[in-house]
Amino acid sequence: MKILLTGSEGYIGQNITEYFKERDGYEVVGIDKRMGIRVEDHKVLLDHNIGGIVHLAATASITSCDRAPQEAVVNNFWTCQNMFEAALLLNVPCIFTSSQAAKEPMNSMYSFTKYTSEVAANIFLDKGADIKVLRLANVYGGYGYLRKKDSVVQKFAMATIKDTPKIINGDGSQTRDFIHVDDVCRSIHLALESGIVDIPVDIGTGIETSMLELAKMFGGTFTFNSESDTIGTSSNVANTADAKKYLAFEAVHSVKDYVKNISNLTENEIAKLNL
């Protein structure tokens, strides 16, 4: 299968590219604005005997979406329209990586654009397209994570490596579900190979971890920032039932194991990370 991968130069995109390189019968055609190619302007690129689409391209930061809402609509919604239309015209499956944030669309411009894209996916499903919506939990780990991302696990990991205090936004009681990027890649692979799934499917572990628990896993010192405007919702955890039912997917990686590996890095191993 030849897969059109949007957002191929991003964090998850690079991990998916490496994932499919290790599997026979797959070829990835990547497009990304970092390559000077914008998804919404290049429908012609779909004339490559594409067998499937994995649509990752988006503005992933809540802050960035709120600061530039018009750009967020283009990057997060309009690109979806183009990919969904392409999937319908070419009669190929399209995997759209949404977010757990879509469950609360009024929380931010980011969550709103993810939710509206899910609505668009339903419209194209009714037209006969094969669109599968995967609501990703908080993704961590894998190639380029510490260099490319700016998420809580990354921040705590970098604080551990640099031996500086971890900063917990709010009181640390807010909980999240953390999913390793390798598990995400496998879920996308399973979705490409599965039949029609007409509901958004949560991709996570189903395990809630509070920010305070996460900080304590890493060890060392931490402080609280009660004035932060990025505390977010009090709880966000994936319901894994549909992933098991429709994709036969269960996460195998644990954030605890990742934290242990980071905490046990030697100075030579840290130097090789080229951070």
Q: Indicate the fold that domain 2-272 takes in CATH.
A: Rossmann fold (3.40.50)
In this structure, are residues 22 and 49 in contact, taking their beta carbons and an 8 Å threshold?
no
Report the alpha-carbon distance of residue 216 to residue 211 in Å, rounded. 9
- Please compute the mean of the pLDDT values over residues 13-31 and round it to a whole number: 94
Residue 90 has pLDDT above 80, yes or no: yes
Q: Which residues contact 144 (CB under 8 A, 6 or more apart)?
A: 11, 14, 15
* Residue 42 pLDDT exceeds 60: no
Least confident residue range of 18-27, 39-48, 110-119, 158-167: 39-48
End-to-end CA distance of the chain, in Å? 35
Cβ atoms of 65 and 44 closer than 8 Å = no
33 pLDDT tier (thresholds 50, 70, 90): confident
Query: What integer pLDDT is reported at residue 104 of this predicted model?
Result: 93
Give me the chain's average pLDDT, please.
Answer: 92
Confidence at residue 169, expressed as pLDDT on a 0 to 100 scale: 93
Percentage of the chain surpassing pLDDT 70? Answer: 97
The predicted structure's pLDDT at residue 60: 85
pLDDT (0 to 100) of residue 257: 97
Q: What is the pLDDT of residues 122-157, one digit of tens each?
A: 999 999 999 999 999 999 999 999 988 989 999 999
Alpha carbons 26 and 147: distance in angstroms, whole number: 27
Q: What is the pTM of this model?
A: 0.94
Q: Per-residue pLDDT tens for 201-221?
A: 999 999 999 999 999 999 999
Predicted confidence at residue 41, as pLDDT, reads 62
pLDDT score of 161? 94
Q: CA 93, 94, 95 angle in degrees (round to 5)?
A: 120
What is the reported pLDDT for 233? 84
Structure tokens at 71: 């750009």
| pLDDT tens by residue, 50-87 | 899 999 999 988 889 989 999 999 899 999 999 999 99
Compute CA distances 24 → 2, 14, 58, 244, whole Å: 11, 18, 28, 25
Q: What is the pLDDT of residue 189?
A: 98
Check whether 171 has a pLDDT greater than 60. Answer: yes
Query: Is residue 5 classed as helix, strand or coil in its secondary structure?
Result: strand
Q: Which residues of 188-219 are buried (b: 16+ CB within 10 A; e: fewer)?
A: bbbbbebeebeebbbbbbbbbbbbbebbebbe
- Which of 93 and 39 is assigned the larger pLDDT? 93
Where do we find the tokens 């899910």? Answer: 118
- Nearest Cα residue to 33 out of 52, 15, 51, 60: 60
**What percent of the chain has pLDDT above 90?**
78
Strands (E), the chain: 2-6, 27-31, 52-55, 94-99, 131-136, 138-140, 166-169, 175-176, 178-180, 201-203, 209-210, 222-225, 235-236
